[in-house]
Chains A and B, each alone.
Chain A
Amino acid sequence: DQQVKQNSPSLSVQEGRISILNCDYTNSMFDYFLWYKKYPAEGPTFLISISSIKDKNEDGRFTVFLNKSAKHLSLHIVPSQPGDSAVYFCAASAGRQGAQKLVFGQGTRLTINP
């Protein structure tokens, strides 16, 4: 039973364009969501997070949108840069556990083409 789903295993985007990564969840108890970026043989690096009391959070080129009714969140990267090429994981937690116990999606491999 996969509670956090990233349905696109891979995504290819032209440099300078917008990258949109999607994530769906099934557990209505999730109240905190995070996006991580991961390079091979390294640990995930935190990008941005959003609490369920918000529907948008922005940090530089990264914006996360949360649609609670649809149980859907998305990460927008604008403009996309070659260094953004990595695997992106969506993660969620429930019940004020914050980042202590995260449920991860399967990841989306983003490739930025020059």
Chain B
Amino acid sequence: KAGVTQTPRYLIKTRGQQVTLSCSPISGHRSVSWYQQTPGQGLQFLFEYFSETQRNKGNFPGRFSGRQFSNSRSEMNVSTLELGDSALYLCASSPQGSGIMNTEAFFGQGTRLTVV
């Protein structure tokens, strides 16, 4: 079974630009969550999607948005990039929400975003 796939692996953008990151979950997983990892703040929850609907949201500004498609693939978008958005963005998929409780989240390798 293929794991969680995130593309691209590395990205360099300029301040003020926007960026779109992609995540393909494990086949059969309908829940996709996004996290931001920075040295100062650690791993922080951005949002979670299930069946194309955002179910949970973390404390990030509106510049951070996401969506999920009917095949459970998800994208996150960051607009008007700031230097502080430089981070490792991780996507995780979970079978939870499909009648399965208390299981783990499976993480992708992440996208390293550098804003210059």
A8 → chain B, closest Cβ, in Å?
Answer: 14
Q: Are B104 and A46 in contact (CB under 8 A)?
A: yes
Tell me how many residue pairs across A and B have CB atoms closer than 8 Å: 75
CA distance A89 to B42 in the complex (A): 10
| Residues of the B chain whose Cβ atoms lie less than 8 Å from the Cβ of A45 | 107
| Residues of the A chain whose Cβ atoms lie less than 8 Å from the Cβ of B110 | 41-43
CA distance A101 to B44 in the complex (A): 10
CA distance A46 to B105 in the complex (A): 7
Stretch of B14-22, B67-75, B76-84, B90-98 contacting A (4+ beta carbons < 8 Å): B90-98
- Per-residue CB contact flags for chain B residues 95-116 toward chain A (1 = under 8 Å, else 0) read 0110001111111111010000
- Per-residue CB contact flags for chain B residues 13-48 toward chain A (1 = under 8 Å, else 0) read 000000000000000000101010000001111001
Q: Given A43-B109, A43-B110, A107-B42, A101 and B48 touching (CB < 8 A)?
A: yes
| Residues of the B chain whose Cβ atoms lie less than 8 Å from the Cβ of A28 | none
Chain B, interface SS category: strand
Contact of B56 among A41, A97, A105 (CB under 8 A): A97
- Per-residue CB contact flags for chain A residues 25-40 toward chain B (1 = under 8 Å, else 0) read 0000000101010000
Chain A, interface SS category: loop
| Residues of the B chain whose Cβ atoms lie less than 8 Å from the Cβ of A100 | 31, 33, 48, 50, 55-56, 94, 96-97, 105
Instruction: Give the interface residue-count category, chain A.
Output: 20 to 34
| Residues of the A chain whose Cβ atoms lie less than 8 Å from the Cβ of B44 | 104
CA distance A104 to B58 in the complex (A): 13
CA distance A44 to B104 in the complex (A): 11
Q: Which residues of B contact A (CB under 8 A)?
A: 4, 6, 31, 33, 35, 42-45, 48, 50, 55-56, 58, 90, 92, 94, 96-97, 101-110, 112
